[in-house]
Amino acid sequence: MSAASPSIDRPIALVGLMGAGKSAVARVLGERLGVVVADIDAFIEAEEDCPIAELFEREGEAYFRRREGEVLRQALEAGAQVIACGGGAVLDPAHRRLLRERCRVAWLEVTPAEALRRIGSVAGRPVLAGADPGARLAALLASRAPLYAEVADDRIATDGRDAEQVADAVLAAVGIAR
């Protein structure tokens, strides 16, 4: 499909817990659809010229969340058609409103155990610092699940699936045949 495909009426935004596969699935979707992809965390790292963990440490979470919203708006204005959001992008009510109003949102659901397996090392994951990572992921999911549900047009289970399979499920959910 080309970027001019009438099947993509709104950008596809991927939300979910860290380790759900948002970045990998976004890349697959972008390749298959031939559209511009925006990985919000990667853009922030590039613009700030430092890893997210360093940014959290240096500027704090509030600064990072503000940048997250700015970059999400920039991606939408620039015409990104697939957006990989950070795991906490839904924490801000303004971000949730923007996602609901401007995007077709797919919640990539992952269990905390599977997320931890995929993440491997918690190095570079500031919200997991200083805690039992599995318990922290479970707590994050419990607190964020209602927010993911609030913005989600579609819910896609990711456990036991690779990025290609999850991309297939996202495309099926949005009505685009592979």
List the chain domain ranges: 12-172
Crossing angle for the helix pair 40-48 and 52-59, nearest 10 degrees? 60
Tell me the three state secondary structure of residue 104. Answer: strand
Binding residues: 19-24, 41, 65, 87, 125, 144, 161
Domain 12-172 fold is Rossmann fold (3.40.50)
Binding residues for Mg(2+): 23
Residues 6+ apart with CB under 8 A from 36: 3, 30, 78, 79, 80, 81, 82
pTM comes to: 0.91
The pLDDT profile of the chain, 178 residues, written as one tens digit per residue, is 334 343 578 999 999 999 999 999 999 999 999 999 999 999 999 999 998 888 888 999 899 999 999 999 999 999 999 999 999 999 999 999 999 999 999 999 999 999 988 887 665 666 666 668 888 888 999 999 999 999 999 999 999 999 999 999 999 999 886 6
Beta bridge partners of 45: none
Binding residues for ATP: 19-24, 125, 161
Binding residues for substrate: 41, 65, 87, 144
H or E stretch at 58: helix 52-59
